Chain A
Amino acid sequence: MLLALWELGSRFGLIPERVLAAPSTVAETFWALTVSGELPANLLVSLARAAAGLAIALAVAVSLGLLAGLSRWGETVVDPLMQIKRTIPSLALTPLFIVWFGIGETPKIALIAVATTFPIYLNLFAGVRGIDVRLVEAARSFGLSGWSLVREVILPGALPSFFVGLRYALGVSVLVLVVAEQINAQAGLGHLINNARDFMRTDIIVVCLLVYALLGLGADALVRTLERRALAWRPSLVEQ
Chain B
Amino acid sequence: MVQPRIRRRAFDTAAVPAVAPSASPSIAPAVKLNGFVRQFGENRVIDGLDLSIAPGEFVALLGASGSGKTTLLRTLAGLDPVGDQDVTTPSTRAVVFQDARLLPWKKVWRNVALGLKDKDVRARAEAALKEVGLGHRLDAWPSTLSGGEAQRTALARALVREPGLLLLDEPFAALDALTRLKMHDLVLNLWNEHRPAVLLVTHDVDEAISLADRVLVLNKGRIAAEEHIALERPRAPDARFQAIRRRLLGHLGVEAPASHEGALIAFPTGEAVQ
Contact surface of A with B, Cβ cutoff 8 Å:
134-135, 137-144, 148, 152-153, 156-157, 159, 231-235
**B-side contacts of A134, CB under 8 Å:** 97, 99, 101
Q: A134-B99, A137-B79, A138-B97 are in contact. Are A143 and B105 (CB under 8 A)?
A: no
Instruction: Digitize B152-163: 1 where CB-to-A-CB distance is under 8 Å, 0 elsewhere.
Output: 000001000100
Whether a CB of chain A sits under 8 angstroms from the CB of B141 is: yes
In the assembled complex, the Cα of A79 lies from the Cα of B121 at a distance in Å of 40
Kindly name the residue among A138, A157, A234 whose own CB sees the greatest number of chain B CB atoms within 10 A: A138
A139 touches B79 (CB 8 A): no
Q: What would 15 A/B residue contacts be, using CB atoms closer than 8 Å?
A: A134-B97, A134-B101, A135-B101, A137-B79, A139-B103, A142-B94, A142-B161, A143-B1, A144-B115, A148-B115, A152-B103, A156-B103, A156-B105, A234-B143, A235-B143
Query: Once the chains bind, are B114 and A142 in contact (CB under 8 Å)?
Result: yes
Provided the pairs A233-B143, A235-B143 are in contact, do residues A141 and B78 lie with their beta carbons within 8 angstroms?
Answer: yes
Q: Is the interface of B mostly helix, strand, loop or mixed?
A: loop
A144 to B106, CA, bound (A): 15
Those 3 A-B pairs whose CB atoms lie nearest each other, nearest first: A138-B101, A143-B115, A142-B115
Once bound together, how far apart are the Cα atoms of A166 and B157, in whole Å? Answer: 34
Residues of B bordering A, CB below 8 Å: 1, 3, 77-79, 93-95, 97, 99, 101, 103-106, 114-115, 141-144, 157, 161
Shortest distance in angstroms between A143's beta carbon and chain B's nearest beta carbon?
4
Q: Point out the residues of chain B lying under 8 angstroms from A143, CB to CB.
A: 1, 3, 115
Complex formed: what's the CA distance from A138 to B79 in Å?
9
Tell me if A139 and B115 are in contact (CB < 8 A): yes
> What 11 new A-B contacts, CB under 8 Å, besides A139-B115, A140-B79, A233-B106?
A138-B101, A141-B77, A142-B114, A144-B115, A152-B106, A156-B105, A156-B106, A159-B105, A233-B141, A234-B104, A235-B144
How many angstroms from the CA of A135 to the CA of B105 in the assembled complex?
A: 11
Among candidates A140, A153, A159, A231, residue contacting B103 with C-beta atoms closer than 8 Å: A153
